[in-house]
C-alpha cells in the first residue's frame, strides 16, 4: 500500500516529522515500511518562467534565442531548440545549477556562440507523465496555462514535493489498506489527534428509489449493498490534485467519475464501482449467484466464464459485474454517460477470494475484499464519493440511498484484565496507559465491566491476546524486558536416532565424503533413466497436483537419481573426482488419504579414481563406527540400475540394509556421465535397528598369538566370502582374526584358477597355544577347504 504523506494531513497532523523518522516509528508500531520514495528527488531548480522575447538564432536555422522572466529578479537569456517556443508563453525553466531526471545538470553554456543561462523543458525532460498532466501535450516544450504564476517551483505545480511511503500490510489488517486506516495508526503512533471530516453534499430531490431497484438474493455472500445515484454527469478529467494523489498511489487516472471511485477506495479502503444507468436493463440491480457457465466480459475486455459459486451483480437481464472483483465491460462509465449509479458494497471475503482465484483476476478491489471488509464502511464511502462529485462539480447527487443489509455479525466485547496482560507480556504497564493506547485505536474500553470492544473495522481483534498485542505495539516491543526461561528444567539433547544420524555424517566425512542436500521431488522420468522395470513398486509415487513442472512433479521413492544428478553435475563441472553422501528421505505412498511413509535413507556416491571396494570400504568403516556388526555382502546380479557383476546387497541381523554397486553404464550415459559411478542406497531405519545397544569391554590378551598364513588355489568362481566362512566355521574358539591379504590370477596360476592367501591369528585367553595345537586346527581347516571348495594348498 502506497501512502502519499501529504494525504495524511487530511486526518491528522504529522508536520515536523521527517520521512525517515516517520518510517522508523511506523515500522516499530507494526506498520512495516518497505521504502520511502521522494517523487521529486531527481528534480531540482526548475521553475515556471515567462518567455518575454523569442528571436531566431543568428547561426542556426532551428534554435531560438529567448529572454525569460523566471522570477529570479533578472531576465535570463536562454537558447531553445523546441519548435513550439514563442514569446508570451509560460514554460518550465531549468535554471543554472538545476537537476533533471537521469542525473542531468544544467550549466551556463554557449550554443553556437550565444550564451544560454538555463533550459526550457518538455514534460519528458522533467519526468512528468501524460497521466500526471491529464492530457497529451504538443511536441516540444511544455506550455503551461497562461494564468500560471511565474517563479513557481515545478514540483509544487505537479505534486512532486511528495514523499510516498510504501507499507507492507499484513493480511489481518484490511483497515490499513486505506489512507484513513494508516492515518489512524499514524496518529496513535505519534500521539496526535485523529478525525475524519464530515462528508457534506446537497441532494437534488429526485429519489433514487423511484428510478432503481436493488435486490440481494444471496445474503451470505453479499453482506451489504448500498447504492447512490448521480444525474447530469459531465465526464471529463479530474483535477490535478486528485490525479496527482492517484498517481502517487500507483493508480492511473481515467476520468472524474472513475477517479472518484478509485480515490474513495484508496482513502476509505472501500472498493466502489460506478455503473452507467443506461446499461442497467429494467433499471434493476440483482445480486445473485452466476449460472454455471455464465460468461461476462470484464472491463479489461476479457471473457470470464463463471460458476454457480461466483457472485455477480446483474441487471434485469444479465451480469454487469463480478462482485468484488471487476465491473463488466457492458456497463462501464463512458464519455457520454449522464447518470451514474455508485455501488458501495460488502461481499464475503472467502467468496471474493475464490472467484478471483478461479477466474485468475486479482484486482485492487478483490485484494481488499478477500481480507474481510467492514460493512459499516459502505455508507461513509458512498457519501464521500457524493461529496467529491459535488466538490468536482461533475454531477447532481440524487436524494436517498438504497441500502440492503445481508447476514452480518457485530463485534463482541472482550474481557480486559490488565494484570493478566502484564503477566503475559512480562511487563508492568499501568492500566491507564493501556486504556490510552486502546482508545487511540478506537477500541472502546468499559472500565466498569472491564471489557473492551473493538471497532467494526478490526475483526482481527478476537481475544485478550489480540488486545495484548495492541498494547505491546504502542507501549513499544523494545521496552519489553528480556528474561530467560524459568520454571521446571527440561532435559535437552538429541535422541538416539538423531545421534545416529550425526555419527553417520561423521563417519562418512572421515572417509572423505562430502554431504549434499537435494530436492525431494523428482521427474517421473527418473525410473526409466535408472532402468527400473515398468511394474516396479518404486514407480508408485506421491504425486504433486500443481507442480512447478514435470521435472519436479513426484516425490522420490529412491535417492539414487538425486545422487546421480549431483555426480553428473560435478562431472560436468570437470571436478576430477567426487565422493558424496546424503542424509535424505524417500516417500512411500500409503494411499487412501493417508500420509506416505517417509523413511530416512543414507545415500553414498562416488566417481573418479575409485572402484567398488572404495564404496564398500566406506560402508565397512561406517558400520564399524556405528557398531553395526555381522554385516554381509551378497552378490546381486539382477538389479537393472547396477552393473550385474558388481553389485551387492548389504544385510545385517536378518534385515536388508541396502544395496551398493557400480551403476550400470547405460544408466551413467543417460545421466551424461562417461565414467564409472559407484552408488549405495542404505536404509537408515535398518542400520539404526542393528546398532549394538551395549558395548562390553573384553580383557586385553595376556598370552601371545600365533599367526599362520594360508595360501591356496581355488576355481576362479569361488567367492572369497565362502572361503572365509569355511575357515571361520572350522577354526574353533581360538581363532582371533582372519584376514585376506592376497588374490592373484595370471602367470604361474593355471587357467580358470586363482590364488588366495589369508593370514589367521590364533590365541587362547588362558595360556600360550602350542605349535602342535595350532597345527591341528590348521590341518582341519585345510582339509575342509579341500573338501568343500576344491582348494589346493600352495
Window 499 to 518, contacts with another protein (CB under 8 A): 505, 508-518
Q: Which residue, 491 or 696, is less far from another protein as judged by CB? A: 491
- Residues 254 and 277: their CA atoms lie apart, in Å, by 19
Nearest distance from C-beta of residue 544 to another protein, angstroms: 5
Residue from 102, 103, 193, 482 in contact with another protein (CB under 8 A): 482
- Is residue 575 close enough to count as binding another protein by CB under 8 A? yes
Q: Between residues 259 and 374, which has the closer beta carbon with respect to another protein?
A: 374
Nearer residue to another protein within complex by CB, 598 or 685: 598
Residue 578 binds another protein, judged by CB under 8 A: yes
Angle formed at CA 232 by CA 227 and CA 235, multiple of 5 degrees: 90
Q: Minimum distance between the CB of residue 347 and another protein, rounded to whole angstroms?
A: 13
Q: Determine if 400 is a binding residue for another protein (CB under 8 A).
A: no
Q: Do the Cβ atoms of 199 and 374 come closer than 8 Å?
A: no
Nearer to another protein, 295 or 506 (CB): 506
Candidate residues 32, 86, 539, 655; the one interacting with another protein per rule CB under 8 A: 32
| Interface of this chain with another protein, residues 145 to 174, rule: CB under 8 A | 170-173
Residue 745: which residues within 8 A CB-CB, separation 6 or more? Answer: 716, 753, 754, 755
- 93 vs 511 by CB, closer to another protein: 511
Contacts to another protein from residues 591-610, by CB under 8 A: 593, 595-596, 598
Tell me the longest C-alpha to C-alpha distance in the chain: 131
Partnered with residue 44 across adjacent β-strands are 99
Q: For residues 333-352, which are near another protein according to CB under 8 A?
A: 349-350
Q: In the range 171-200, which residues lie near another protein by CB under 8 A? A: 171-173
Element (H, E) at 677: strand 677-683
Extract the runs of DSSP E, i.e. beta strands, from 240-324: 272-276, 284-289, 295-297, 303-305, 311-314, 319-322
SS3 344: strand
Applying CB under 8 A, the span of 43-51, 58-66, 339-347, 536-544 interacting with another protein comes to 536-544
CB of 288 to another protein, least distance (A): 21
Question: Measured in whole angstroms, how far is the alpha carbon of residue 206 from the centre of its chain?
Answer: 52
Residue at grid coordinates 543568428: 58
400 Cβ contact list (under 8 Å, min separation 6): 203, 207, 208, 209
> Is residue 450 involved in binding another protein (CB under 8 A)?
no
Beta-strand pair 396-399/203-207: parallel
Q: Does 469 bind another protein (CB under 8 A)?
A: yes
Q: Is 785 helix (H, G, I), strand (E, B) or coil?
A: helix
> Could you tell me the smallest distance in angstroms from the CB atom of residue 622 to another protein?
12
> What residue has cell string 559411478?
677
The answer to whether 760 contacts another protein (rule: CB under 8 A) is no
What CA–CA distance (Å, rounded) separates 79 from 85? Answer: 10
What is the Cα–Cα distance from 436 to 443, expressed in whole angstroms? 10
Residue 464 binding another protein, by CB under 8 A: yes
Measured CA to CA, the distance from residue 184 to residue 22 in angstroms comes to 14
Q: Which of 83, 250, 426, 617: binder of another protein (CB under 8 A)?
A: 426
Burial 499-511 (b: 16+ CB within 10 A, else e): ebbeebeebbeeb
Least Å distance, CB 163 to another protein, is 16
Tell me the window of 91-99, 105-113, 261-269, 581-589 that interacts with another protein (CB under 8 A). 581-589
**Region of residue 505 (phi > 0: left; psi between -120 and 50: alpha; otherwise: beta):** alpha
Nearer to another protein, 508 or 601 (CB): 508
Asked if 424 interacts with another protein (CB under 8 A), we say: yes
Provide, rounded to whole angstroms, the least separation between the CB of residue 311 and another protein.
14
Instruction: Return the residue of 1, 11, 22, 29 that touches another protein, per CB under 8 A.
Output: 29
Buried b (16+ CB within 10 A) or exposed e, 205-219: eeebeeebbbebebb
Cβ-based nearer residue to another protein, 123 or 417: 417
Task: Report d(CA 339, CA 211) in Å as an integer.
Answer: 11
CA atoms within 13 A on the CB side of 351: 23
List the one residue out of 310, 269, 258 whose CA is nearest residue 288. Answer: 310
Least Å distance between CB 771 and another protein?
39
Q: How far apart (Å, rounded) are the C-alpha atoms in residues 289 and 298?
A: 16
| Contact flag: residue 283 with another protein (CB under 8 A) | no
Residue 636 engages another protein in binding (rule: CB under 8 A)? no
Q: How far is the CB of 776 from another protein (least distance, A)?
A: 42
Least Å distance between CB 148 and another protein? 37
485 vs 534 by CB, closer to another protein: 485
Q: Is residue 581 near another protein by the rule CB under 8 A?
A: yes
Q: What span, in angstroms and rounded, lies between the C-alpha atoms of 174 and 442? A: 16
- Rounded to the nearest angstrom, the gap between the alpha carbon of residue 48 and the centroid of all alpha carbons in its chain is 46
Residues 227-256 that bind another protein (CB under 8 A): none
Minimum CB separation of residue 601 from another protein in Å reads: 13
Q: How far is the CB of 14 from another protein (least distance, A)?
A: 19
Among residues 548 and 695, whose Cβ is nearest to another protein? 548
Q: How far is the CB of 448 from another protein (least distance, A)?
A: 23
d(CA 761, CA 101): 89
Residues 542-561 that bind another protein (CB under 8 A): 542-548, 552, 555
* Cα 159-161-167 angle, rounded to 5 deg: 90
Considering only residues 74 to 93 of the shown chain, the ones binding another protein according to CB under 8 A are: none
Class of residue 693 by CB neighbours under 10 A (exposed 0-12, middle 13-18, buried 19+): exposed
Per CB under 8 A, the list member of 102, 205, 301, 483 interacting with another protein is 483
Residue 605 CB, shortest distance to another protein, in Å, is: 10
Q: How far is the CB of 61 from another protein (least distance, A)?
A: 49
717 binds another protein (CB under 8 A): no
Binding residues among 348-377 for another protein as defined by CB under 8 A: 349-350, 353-354, 370-371
Q: Is residue 495 at the binding interface for another protein, with CB under 8 A as the rule?
A: yes
CB 173 within 8 A of CB 181: yes
Amino acid at each position: 500500500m502506497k501512502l502519499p504523506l501529504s494525504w495524511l494531513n487530511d486526518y491528522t497532523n504529522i508536520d515536523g516529522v521527517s520521512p525517515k523518522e516517520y518510517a522508523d516509528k511506523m515500522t516499530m508500531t507494526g506498520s512495516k515500511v518497505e521504502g520511502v520514495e521522494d517523487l521529486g528527488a531527481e528534480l531540482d531548480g526548475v521553475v515556471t518562467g515567462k518567455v518575454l522575447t523569442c528571436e531566431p538564432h543568428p547561426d542556426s536555422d532551428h534554435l531560438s534565442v529567448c529572454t525569460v522572466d523566471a522570477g529570479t529578479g533578472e531576465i535570463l537569456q536562454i537558447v531553445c531548440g523546441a519548435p513550439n517556443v514563442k514569446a508570451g508563453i509560460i514554460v518550465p525553466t531549468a535554471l543554472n545549477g538545476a537537476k533533471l531526471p537521469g542525473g542531468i545538470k544544467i550549466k551556463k553554456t554557449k550554443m553556437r556562440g550565444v550564451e544560454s543561462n538555463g533550459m526550457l523543458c518538455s514534460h519528458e525532460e522533467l519526468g512528468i507523465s501524460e497521466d500526471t498532466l491529464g492530457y497529451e501535450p504538443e511536441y516540444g516544450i511544455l506550455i503551461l496555462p497562461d494564468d500560471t504564476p511565474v517563479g513557481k517551483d515545478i514540483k509544487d505545480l505537479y505534486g512532486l514535493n511528495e514523499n510516498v511511503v510504501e507499507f507492507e500490510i499484513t493480511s489481518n489488517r484490511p483497515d490499513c489498506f486505506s489512507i484513513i486506516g494508516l492515518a489512524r495508526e499514524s496518529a496513535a503512533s505519534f500521539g496526535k489527534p485523529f478525525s475524519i471530516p464530515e462528508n457534506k453534499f446537497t441532494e437534488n430531490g429526485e429519489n433514487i428509489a423511484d428510478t432503481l431497484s436493488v435486490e440481494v438474493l444471496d445474503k451470505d455472500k453479499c453482506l451489504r449493498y448500498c447504492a447512490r445515484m448521480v444525474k447530469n454527469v459531465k465526464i471529463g478529467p479530474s483535477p490535478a490534485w486528485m490525479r496527482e494523489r492517484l498517481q502517487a498511489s500507483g493508480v492511473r487516472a481515467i476520468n472524474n467519475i472513475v477517479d472518484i471511485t478509485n480515490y474513495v477506495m484508496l482513502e476509505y479502503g472501500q472498493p466502489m464501482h460506478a455503473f452507467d444507468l443506461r446499461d442497467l436493463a429494467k433499471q434493476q440491480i440483482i445480486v445473485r449467484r452466476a449460472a454455471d457457465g455464465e460468461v461476462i466480459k470484464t472491463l479489461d475486455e476479457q471473457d470470464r466464464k463463471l460458476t454457480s459459486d461466483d457472485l455477480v451483480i446483474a441487471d434485469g437481464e444479465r451480469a454487469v459485474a463480478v462482485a468484488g472483483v471487476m465491473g463488466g465491460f457492458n456497463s462501464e462509465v463512458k464519455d457520454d454517460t449522464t447518470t451514474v449509479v455508485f455501488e458501495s458494497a460488502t461481499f464475503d471475503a472467502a467468496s471474493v477470494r475464490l472467484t478471483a482465484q478461479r477466474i485468475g483476476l486479482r484486482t485492487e478491489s478483490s485484494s481488499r475484499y478477500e481480507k474481510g471488509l467492514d460493512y459499516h464502511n459502505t455508507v461513509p464511502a458512498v457519501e464521500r464519493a457524493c461529496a467529491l462529485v459535488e466538490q468536482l462539480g461533475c454531477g447532481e447527487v440524487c436524494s436517498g440511498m438504497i441500502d440492503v443489509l445481508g447476514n452480518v455479525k457485530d463485534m463482541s466485547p472482550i474481557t480486559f484484565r490488565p494484570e493478566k496482560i502484564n503477566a503475559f507480556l512480562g511487563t508492568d504497564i499501568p492500566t491507564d496507559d493501556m486504556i490510552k493506547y486502546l482508545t487511540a485505536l478506537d477500541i472502546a474500553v468499559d472500565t466498569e465491566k472491564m471489557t473492551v470492544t473493538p471497532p467494526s473495522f478490526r475483526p482481527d481483534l478476537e481475544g485478550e491476546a489480540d488486545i495484548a498485542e495492541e498494547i505491546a505495539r504502542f507501549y513499544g516491543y523494545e521496552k519489553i524486558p528480556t528474561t530467560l526461561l524459568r520454571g521446571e528444567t527440561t532435559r535437552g539433547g538429541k535422541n538416539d536416532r538423531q545421534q545416529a544420524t550425526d555419527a553417520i555424517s561423521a563417519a562418512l566425512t572421515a572417509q572423505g565424503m562430502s554431504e549434499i542436500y537435494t530436492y525431494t521431488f523428482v521427474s517421473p522420468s527418473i525410473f526409466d533413466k535408472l532402468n527400473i522395470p515398468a511394474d516396479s513398486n518404486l514407480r508408485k509415487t506421491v504425486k504433486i497436483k500443481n507442480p512447478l513442472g514435470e521435472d519436479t512433479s513426484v516425490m522420490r521413492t529412491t535417492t539414487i537419481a538425486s545422487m546421480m544428478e549431483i555426480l553428473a553435475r560435478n562431472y560436468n563441472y570437470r571436478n576430477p573426482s567426487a565422493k558424496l553422501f546424503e542424509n535424505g528421505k524417500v516417500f512411500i505412498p500409503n494411499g487412501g488419504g493417508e500420509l506416505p511413509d517417509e523413511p530416512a535413507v543414507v545415500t553414498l556416491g562416488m566417481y573418479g579414481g575409485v572402484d567398488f571396494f572404495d564404496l564398500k570400504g566406506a560402508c565397512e568403516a561406517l558400520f564399524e563406527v556405528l557398531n553395526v556388526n555381522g554385516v554381509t555382502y551378497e552378490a546381486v546380479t539382477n538389479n537393472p540400475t547396477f552393473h550385474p557383476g558388481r553389485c551387492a546387497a548389504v544385510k545385517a541381523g536378518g534385515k536388508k540394509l541396502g544395496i551398493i554397486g557400480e551403476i550400470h553404464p547405460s544408466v551413467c550415459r543417460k545421466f551424461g556421465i562417461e565414467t564409472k559411478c559407484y552408488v549405495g542406497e542404505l536404509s537408515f531405519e535398518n542400520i539404526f535397528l542393528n546398532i549394538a545397544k551395549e558395548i562390553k569391554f573384553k580383557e586385553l590378551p595376556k598370552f601371545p598369538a600365533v599367526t599362520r598364513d594360508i595360501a591356496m588355489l581355488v576355481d576362479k568362481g569361488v567367492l572369497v566370502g565362502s572361503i572365509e566362512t569355511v575357515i571361520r566355521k572350522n577354526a574353533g574358539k581360538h581363532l582371533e582374526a582372519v584376514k585376506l591379504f592376497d588374490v592373484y590370477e595370471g602367470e604361474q596360476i593355471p587357467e580358470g584358477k586363482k590364488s588366495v592367501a589369508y593370514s589367521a591369528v590364533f590365541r587362547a585367553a588362558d595360556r600360550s597355544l602350542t605349535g602342535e595345537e595350532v597345527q591341528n586346527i590348521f590341518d582341519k581347516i585345510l582339509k575342509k577347504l579341500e573338501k568343500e571348495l576344491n582348494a589346493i594348498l600352495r
